[in-house]
Amino acid sequence: MKKLQMQKFVGAVLFTSLCAGLVLAQPLEAPSNDPAAVDAVKQVGQDMGDAMVAVDIDKLNQIFADDWATVDSSGKIFTKASLLSDSKSGKHKLEWFENGPTDVQVFGDVAVAQGSVKRSVSLDGSPQETCRQMGGRAQRRRQGGFGRLAQSAITGSDHC
């Protein structure tokens, strides 16, 4: 169990480094204090959860960047295509969620958000335990608002 937690921690550190690299690769700008930009980034998290619960594949397709990918605690890579396929088939279903506090920093067209979510999922129709997930995500402003580039999460469960 401790090895798994350490792997998740290392993954979160690597993700944070990636986000910092994305931000630092841009010309340095002061973080935006624009409440509308911060709210727009937070809204993406809410919209994504709502779309996952409703299995709104069109909305999820809009939210996730075409080259989006994430790695779970076992090392399995999930892409946008696999996320949409698993959602559509019911293999992975978000039953409900509740976003916790989220810290957002906006640097021009790039935003980094860190926060928590409490959620319950079912895998292949089998309910899993409810868990709290801590994580971060990088988003880039594009036509129509912010979209996800990458994300990282640390959970107390492999089913979250």
Residue-by-residue pLDDT tens, the chain, 160 positions:
556 555 555 555 455 555 555 545 555 566 777 898 899 889 999 999 999 999 999 999 998 888 888 887 778 888 999 999 999 999 999 999 999 999 999 988 888 889 999 999 998 989 988 888 788 888 888 776 777 665 655 545 444 5
According to the model, what pLDDT value does residue 13 have? 46
pTM for the structure as a whole: 0.73
Domain 2-155 top-level CATH class: alpha beta
Surface-to-core class of residue 12, CB atoms within 10 Å of its CB (0-12 exposed, 13-18 middle, 19+ buried) = middle
Q: Which residues contact 75 (CB under 8 A, 6 or more apart)?
A: none
Contact predicate 131/159, CB 8 Å:
yes
According to the model, what pLDDT value does residue 159 have? 47
Whole-angstrom Cα distance, residue 69 to residue 22? 15
Whole-angstrom Cα distance, residue 138 to residue 149? 5
CA atoms within 13 A on the CB side of 135: 24
Surface-to-core class of residue 119, CB atoms within 10 Å of its CB (0-12 exposed, 13-18 middle, 19+ buried) = buried
Whole-angstrom Cα distance, residue 143 to residue 6? 38
Identify the CA nearest to 65 among candidates 142, 125, 130, 124. 142
- Domain definitions of the chain by residue range: 2-155
44-62 burial, b if ≥16 CB within 10 A, otherwise e? bbebbbebbeeebeeebee
According to the model, what pLDDT value does residue 157 have? 47
Q: Is the alpha carbon torsion for 13, 19, 21, 23 positive or negative?
A: negative
According to the model, what pLDDT value does residue 119 have? 92
Q: What are phi and psi of 114, to 5 degrees?
A: -130, 135
